[in-house]
Amino acid sequence: MWKKVWKKQIPHKTRVFAWRVWHNRLPTLRNLLARKVIEDAVCKFYNREEEYINHALLYCPRIEPVLAVKLSFLRNNSEQWDIVPIVNLVISRNISSELEELILCSWEMWYRRNKFIFEQKIFNPRMAIDYALTIASEYKCANEQRQQGTHRREGWNAPPERVLKLNVDGALFDDQCRYGTGMVLWDATGKMIFSANKPERGSMDPMEAKLLAILRGLQVCLPLSIQNLQVESDSMLVVQEVTKIQDESLSIWGNLMHEIRLLLNRFSNIDVRHESRLSNSAAHCLARNSWHLNDLVVWWNDPPDCVSHIIKHDALM
């Protein structure tokens, strides 16, 4: 069983986390009580039960309903099995991505728990799970591209003639409880038309940050009367969400998606696509560098110093 987990296409830290879960090595409050490190093992989210490993990762009433919606194999689990039998069940079902999703969602629930206990920060469990599923989806997509031999040349590529390309990205600033957005518009010769970044306040949701980056980029582009536009993000899940048929998008980002679609409809020819993180590095750097700003800043023709080397490098690709 453990060999199957170790071969999964997930971040290394989550494999280590899964090993600790399997061997009951997580410092849950129940384990700390058994070692006489603390005197009270009651869950900090739900003050009626002790925090043992299954409770912390799956069955706390604050997270169980959300997990059951996102992970179908938990819906009929009325007996609340231990996590090890659940892992064996998932492996026996042999359904693509289920094991990765279970591990990543469990890891995200543990991360959320630690943020609350040690930093008094409360993360919405639905957003935490959506972020975990984002990672699972992107790792799956990258793995499929490698297996099919469709992995593209890394690095930024200029758009076709008479088409402009908008690279966008979002970044979280946990210590400030806000995030930033960055965007760069290029022409077919690799010349930068504008670069911009803007600080934002929100729910500390990485999906929301990346979606908002698309919205801000479109808002800056709209007055320029652009006929043909490519929009690129390094998040596969964001691109999938934006390109869904409207009636299929029932996500928690509904209001934001509505605003994005209104703007998309204002362009005569627009294409939203996924690109690698390396090819999106200028927008990412701008998003990270917006932490000290108070509002939107736009640079026309000449980029700011923080990304000038990236802009020059990408223009030569």
Q: Rounded mean pLDDT of 94-100?
A: 80
Is the CB of residue 232 less than 8 Å from the CB of residue 279?
Answer: yes
DSSP 200-213: E-S---HHHHHHHH
For the chain, the domains span 2-148, 164-315
What are phi and psi for residue 124, nearest 5 degrees?
-60, 125
State what percent of residues in the chain have pLDDT above 70. 86
Copy the structure tokens of residue 74.
């938990």
Kindly report the number of other CB atoms within 10 A of residue 137's CB atom.
18
> Across the chain, where does the E strand assignment appear?
164-173, 178-186, 192-200, 228-233, 269-274, 297-300
Is the CB of residue 41 less than 8 Å from the CB of residue 29?
Answer: yes
DSSP code at position 55: I
Alpha-carbon span 241 to 251, nearest angstrom? 8
Helix or strand run (H / E) with residue 264:
helix 254-264
What's the pLDDT tens digit per position in 148-195? Answer: 655 444 568 889 999 999 999 998 887 677 889 999 999 999 899 999
CATH code of domain 164-315: 3.30.420.10
What residue has token string 């076709």? 160
Mean pLDDT of the residues in the chain: 84
Q: Which is higher by pLDDT, 135 or 114? A: 114
